[in-house]
């Protein structure tokens, strides 16, 4: 068991960045599909470094330690080092990534551990501006994985990556995952990663962050296909039971008005927009994410006005729904995206209306919280 604190892929990436000058070697642990490899790819891109990705389950010891050759002059055996250790002439940094180390053959893994510990292989010293990272599964991660051993563990900085909902949703929105997946995970966070239930039920297919990215791409590709075809494809990635739940939400979203259609209604008959808003938590989450992912500088103010209308809806359709909280969440997502893109909406009346409503809601929540606090000891005694 790797008994350290778990973190998100982004936190792992920032930790490695912060400590790169110490010339440490890092070991990323986590289940398949939680984002270990992707975080290393992002790390290399953000540092403008070359990524040298070595998949160890496909390598033999000589692929790591080098091939023996005869030096005819000295009559001695020498080793030709592997190409991935070749220095860069331009001095550009390198991220040397040993992936799937826990699935590698014992001899191969031993050769890699030497590089991780000493930052060298034979006569080849690894440059100070290289970052060395290994990644693998823990034995408990439903993989045929093994630990590295006490000697290696003492020489590495270990980072355990586990998916966390809000961080994953933020990443998914950044890379364009479809609104149906975002809404489904918001409503059913237990399906972000299904290792525990899969272990209990002995299922080979189960959801994890990387598989939801695949579901997004597959579903978008098959959006116009028959429902049965879509279900077969999704079930082939995340398993039948979770796929069935996802398809129910997806069908509900399919019957909703699109963001563009809602904007057109808002422009023509704003007072009637409530008749076209979804009236389930699934649909409203999906709409909130769809608003954010479709936002641009041209539509930002109109979309914020649409969000403003969430908690203005009355009647039985919306009575049991947390419309105020949904408005706050949707507005926060939208504003975060457009501000990061450099868009400005602060001078619009729509923004100040949203902000006033948000502050009023926060004030009400604080008042309720204070009212529900335990009375002072003197008051209790008097009572």
Q: What is the mean pLDDT of the chain?
A: 87
Mean pLDDT, range 15-19, rounded to an integer: 95
Under the banding of pLDDT at 50, 70 and 90, the label for residue 229 is very high
Q: Which residues of 90-124 are buried (b: 16+ CB within 10 A; e: fewer)?
A: eeebbbbbbbbbbbbeeebbbbbbbbbeebebeee
Which pLDDT score, from 0 to 100, does residue 148 have? 74
Q: Is the pLDDT of residue 143 over 60?
A: no
Give the length of the chain: 383
Q: Are 210 and 237 in contact (CB under 8 A)?
A: no
DSSP structural state of residue 82? P
Which pLDDT score, from 0 to 100, does residue 200 have? 67
Q: What percent of the chain has pLDDT over 70?
A: 92
Reported as a single tens digit per residue, the pLDDT across 177-201 is: 999 999 999 999 999 987 766 666 6
- Residue ranges and CATH numbers for the domains of the chain are 6-162 (3.40.50.300), 166-366 (no CATH)
Task: For residue 68, count other CB atoms closer than 10 A to its CB.
Answer: 10
Under the banding of pLDDT at 50, 70 and 90, the label for residue 370 is low
C-alpha span between 153 and 155 (Å, rounded): 5
Under the banding of pLDDT at 50, 70 and 90, the label for residue 379 is very low
* 116: its two tokens: 């991780």
Q: Are 125 and 165 in contact (CB under 8 A)?
A: no
Mean pLDDT, range 8-14, rounded to an integer: 93
Q: Is the pLDDT of residue 308 over 80?
A: yes
* 40: its two tokens: 């290393």
Q: Angle 78-84-86 (CA atoms, 0-180°, nearest 5)?
A: 65
Reported as a single tens digit per residue, the pLDDT across 247-290 is: 999 999 998 999 999 999 999 999 899 999 999 999 999 999 99
Mean pLDDT, range 367-373, rounded to an integer: 57
DSSP structural state of residue 375? P
With both helix axes pointing from N to C terminus, report the angle between 281-294 and 240-254 in degrees, rounded to the nearest 10: 70
CA 138: distance to chain centroid?
A: 19
């Amino acid at each position: 068991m790797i008994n350290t604190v778990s973190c998100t892929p982004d936190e792992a990436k920032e930790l490695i960045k912060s400590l790169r000058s110490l010339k440490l070697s890092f070991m990323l642990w986590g289940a398949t599909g939680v984002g270990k490899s992707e975080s290393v790819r992002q790390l290399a891109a953000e540092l403008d470094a070359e990524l040298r990705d070595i998949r160890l389950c496909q390598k033999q010891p000589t692929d790591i330690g080098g091939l023996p050759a005869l030096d005819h002059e000295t009559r001695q055996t020498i080793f030709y080092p592997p190409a991935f250790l070749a220095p860069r002439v331009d001095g550009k940094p390198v991220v040397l990534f040993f992936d799937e180390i826990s699935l590698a053959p014992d001899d191969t893994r031993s050769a890699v551990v030497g590089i991780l510990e000493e930052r060298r292989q034979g006569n080849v010293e690894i440059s100070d501006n290289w970052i060395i990272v290994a990644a693998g599964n823990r034995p408990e991660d439903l993989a045929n994985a093994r630990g590295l051993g006490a000697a290696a563990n003492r020489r590495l900085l270990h980072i355990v990556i586990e998916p966390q909902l809000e961080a994953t949703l933020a990443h998914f929105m950044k890379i364009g995952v479809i609104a149906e997946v975002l809404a489904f995970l918001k409503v059913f966070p237990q399906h972000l990663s299904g290792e525990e239930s899969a272990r209990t039920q002995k299922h080979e297919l189960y959801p994890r962050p990387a598989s939801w990215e695949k579901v997004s791409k597959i579903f978008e590709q098959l959006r116009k296909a028959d429902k049965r075809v879509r279900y077969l494809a999704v079930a082939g990635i995340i398993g039948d039971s979770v796929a069935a739940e996802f398809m129910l939400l997806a069908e509900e979203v399919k019957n909703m008005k699109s963001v563009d259609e809602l904007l057109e209604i808002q422009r023509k008959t704003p007072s009637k927009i409530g008749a076209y808003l979804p009236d389930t938590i699934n649909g409203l989450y999906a709409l909130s994410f769809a608003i954010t992912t479709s936002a641009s500088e041209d539509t930002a103010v109109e979309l914020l006005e649409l969000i403003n209308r969430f908690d203005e809806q009355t009647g039985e359709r919306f009575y049991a729904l947390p419309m105020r909280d949904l408005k706050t969440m949707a507005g926060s997502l939208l504003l975060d995206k457009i501000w990061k893109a450099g868009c400005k909406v602060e001078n619009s009346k729509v923004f100040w209306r949203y902000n006033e409503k948000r502050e009023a809601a926060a004030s009400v929540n604080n008042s309720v919280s204070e009212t529900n606090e335990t009375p002072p000891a003197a008051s209790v005694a008097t009572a």
